[in-house]
């Protein structure tokens, strides 16, 4: 039994668009949606729950995460209700529902706060470097002393009194602490999501073995996003895949395996480490530039409406990638002082992007989406078992 909550529409409207009433349930959007099926009438059934003010049903609903915002439904809606954007708004709202800290809600609804927090973390990283890891005075008087035999900059030796290994150790310790912080927050929020969307179902209980049987879906959907590829605009899926794979490669290189990658050796351009870096950089920049231009031009329905979190995400990722490119070329060109300052700037942008965006804002969809597919499979498998109906694809 779901109670009616008259404040739901107003509450959800704070996270983006609030055009719920424009929908008169013709069902055209669901017919147009390539991801809709007999158990997930995307997006119409979610819009219906919202119009009725069924808060607990909306909190249980995984359909907003099964939508990849291809925009087909918005193109066909004769009421101009923009159902694709309604689903986007709901994803922001649900992110705040899963986030037990309440920080996502503040970031999404009090628009300037996220920007100030990002600027605060940026300043903190710069201050920590200035206080604890300031550039060596020699950097300006005798920069040649910091060049390696290959002519590039010895990046781990730019700070006085700390050996190369100790420097990487300090940055790595910070990396691990940051990864733990992000990981614990995300895991706790995903558990919260699971209690809302799977455990709270009173009609059925998911058999324990199904959690193992469906686990490959989680990995598969995280890696390839096959549902996204079903949308009519395949180019968008391809571009998104390039960016996501590039970002994952970068994350592994600079967070998980830092000591292996931040060494003093300047590899030739065809070395696998550099090629991986170039792939990741190209993947991120290519897709990001297309999205940024389309958001500015506002001609594509799915990128017509931009929330401040969309722009913060683009700007942070763009600055991180561009500063990483500059850092790389300053280093291999043998410019130690410029390399140090670019290194600090790069980390000062990267850190807020990771600790603000990943657990609390736009980046969190990276985790919620594949888990939503996994949880939806669990729910569907339990319904199939209860009703003895055949499996569907
Ligand atoms: S096409 Fe528009 S009016 Fe029709 S059900 Fe979808 S959102 Fe509602
Ligand atoms: S935006 Fe695309 S995937 Fe999302 S509900 Fe509309 S048609 Fe379906």
155 or 161, which is more confident? 155
180 or 385, which is more confident? 180
Cis bond leading into 129, ω under 30°? no
- Residue 32 pLDDT level (bands cut at 50, 70, 90): very high
- Residue 386 pLDDT level (bands cut at 50, 70, 90): confident
Mutate to test the pocket of ligand 2, among 84, 88, 234, 237 (most ligand atoms within 8 A of CB): 84
365 or 164, which is more confident? 365
Structure confidence by residue, pLDDT tens digits, 273-284: 899 999 999 999
Instruction: Confirm if 259 and 172 have CB atoms less than 8 A apart.
Output: yes
Closest ligand 1 atom to Cα of 24: 3
Structure confidence by residue, pLDDT tens digits, 217-269: 999 998 888 888 888 888 889 999 999 999 888 888 877 788 888 888 888 88
User: Nearest-CA neighbor of 354 among 202, 225, 178, 186?
Assistant: 178
Ligand 1: centre distance to CA 22 (Å): 8
- Residue 393 pLDDT level (bands cut at 50, 70, 90): very low
Q: What is the CATH architecture assignment of 8-98?
A: Orthogonal Bundle (1.10)
Radius of gyration of the chain (CA): 23
- In the 8-state DSSP scheme, what is residue 3? -
Ligand 2: centre distance to CA 67 (Å): 5
Structure confidence by residue, pLDDT tens digits, 103-156: 999 999 997 899 999 999 999 999 999 999 999 989 999 989 999 888 899 989
Task: Reply yes or no on whether the pLDDT at 392 is more than 70.
Answer: no
Q: In sequence order, what DSSP letters do the residues of 257-292 get, joined into one string?
A: THHHHS-S----TTSHHHHHHHHHHHHHHHHHHHHH
Q: Which ligand is nearest to the CA of 34?
A: 2
Tokens of 282: 């190209």
Determine which of 91-105, 253-267, 316-330 has the lowest per-residue pLDDT on average: 253-267
To the nearest whole percent, how much of the chain has pLDDT over 90? Answer: 68
Task: Reply yes or no on whether the pLDDT at 355 is more than 50.
Answer: yes
- Residue 391 pLDDT level (bands cut at 50, 70, 90): low
- In the 8-state DSSP scheme, what is residue 54? B
Q: How far apart are CA 118 and CA 193, in angstroms?
A: 26
CA 275 vs. chain centroid, Å, equals: 24
Tokens of 209: 């073995």
Q: Which ligand is nearest to the CA of 43?
A: 2
Ligand 1: centre distance to CA 29 (Å): 5
Range 64-80 average pLDDT: 93
Say what the pTM is.
0.91
- Residue 15 pLDDT level (bands cut at 50, 70, 90): very high
**What is the number of other CB atoms lying within 10 angstroms of the CB of residue 48?**
15
Note the helical H segments in 333-364.
336-352, 358-360
- Residue 390 pLDDT level (bands cut at 50, 70, 90): low
- Residue 96 pLDDT level (bands cut at 50, 70, 90): very high
Ligand 1: centre distance to CA 78 (Å): 7
Structure confidence by residue, pLDDT tens digits, 327-336: 999 999 999 9
Mutate to test the pocket of ligand 1, among 20, 25, 33, 36 (most ligand atoms within 8 A of CB): 25
Ligand 1: centre distance to CA 79 (Å): 7
Specify the pLDDT at position 229. Answer: 87
Q: How far apart are CA 342 and CA 243, in angstroms?
A: 23
Q: What average pLDDT does the structure give for the chain? A: 91
Ligand 1: centre distance to CA 20 (Å): 10
CA 248 vs. chain centroid, Å, equals: 11
Specify the pLDDT at position 389. Answer: 64
CB contact set of 31 (below 8 Å; sequence gap of 6+): 76
Closest ligand 2 atom to Cα of 66: 3
Structural element, H or E, at residue 323? helix 308-332
The CA–CA distances, whole Å, from 75 to 80, 82, 354, 369 equal 8, 8, 34, 23
Partners of residue 135 on adjacent β-strands: 159
Please report, for the chain, the start and end positions of each structural domain, with discontinuous segments joined by +: 8-98, 106-377
Residues flanking ligand 1, CB < 6 Å: 23-29, 44, 47, 77, 79, 81, 83
SS3 43: coil
Q: How far apart are CA 327 and CA 152, in angstroms?
A: 11
Range 205-226 average pLDDT: 92
CB contact set of 132 (below 8 Å; sequence gap of 6+): none
Instruction: Confirm if 72 and 231 have CB atoms less than 8 A apart.
Output: yes
């Amino acid at each position: 039994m779901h109670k009616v909550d008259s404040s739901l529409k107003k509450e959800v409207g704070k996270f983006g668009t609030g055009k719920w009433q424009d929908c008169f349930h013709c069902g055209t959007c669901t017919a147009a949606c390539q991801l809709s099926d007999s158990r997930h009438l995307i997006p119409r059934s979610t819009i219906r729950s919202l119009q009725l003010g069924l808060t607990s049903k909306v909190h249980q609903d995984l359909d907003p995460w099964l939508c990849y915002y291809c925009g087909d439904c918005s193109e066909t809606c004769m009421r101009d209700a923009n159902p694709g954007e309604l689903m986007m708004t709901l994803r922001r709202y649900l992110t705040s529902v899963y986030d037990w800290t309440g920080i996502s809600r503040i970031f999404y609804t009090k628009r300037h706060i996220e920007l100030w927090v990002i600027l605060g973390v940026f300043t903190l990283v710069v201050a920590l470097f200035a206080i604890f890891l300031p550039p060596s005075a020699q950097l300006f008087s005798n920069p040649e002393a910091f060049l390696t035999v290959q002519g590039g900059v010895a990046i781990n030796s730019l700070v006085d009194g700390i050996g190369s290994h100790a420097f990487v150790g300090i940055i790595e310790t910070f990396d691990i602490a940051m990864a733990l912080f992000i990981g614990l927050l995300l895991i706790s929020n995903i558990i919260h999501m699971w209690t809302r969307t799977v455990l709270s179902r009173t009609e059925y209980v998911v058999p324990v073995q199904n959690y193992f049987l469906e686990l490959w879906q989680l990995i598969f959907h995280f890696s390839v996003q096959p549902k996204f590829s079903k949308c009519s605009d395949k180019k968008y899926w391809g571009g998104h895949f390039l960016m996501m794979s590039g970002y994952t490669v970068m994350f592994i290189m600079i967070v998980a395996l830092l000591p292996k990658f931040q060494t003093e050796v300047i590899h030739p351009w065809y070395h696998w480490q550099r090629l991986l870096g170039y792939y990741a950089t190209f993947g991120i920049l290519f897709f990001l530039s297309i999205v940024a231009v389309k958001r500015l031009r506002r001609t594509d329905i799915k990128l017509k409406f931009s929330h401040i979190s969309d722009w913060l995400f683009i700007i942070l990722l763009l600055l991180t990638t561009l500063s990483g490119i500059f850092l790389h070329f300053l280093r291999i060109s043998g410019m130690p002082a410029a390399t140090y300052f670019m290194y600090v700037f790069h980390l000062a942008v990267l850190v807020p992007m990771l600790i603000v965006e990943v657990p609390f804002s736009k980046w969190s969809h990276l985790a919620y989406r594949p888990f939503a597919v996994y949880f939806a499979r669990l729910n569907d498998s339990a319904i199939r078992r209860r009703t003895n109906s055949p499996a569907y694809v």
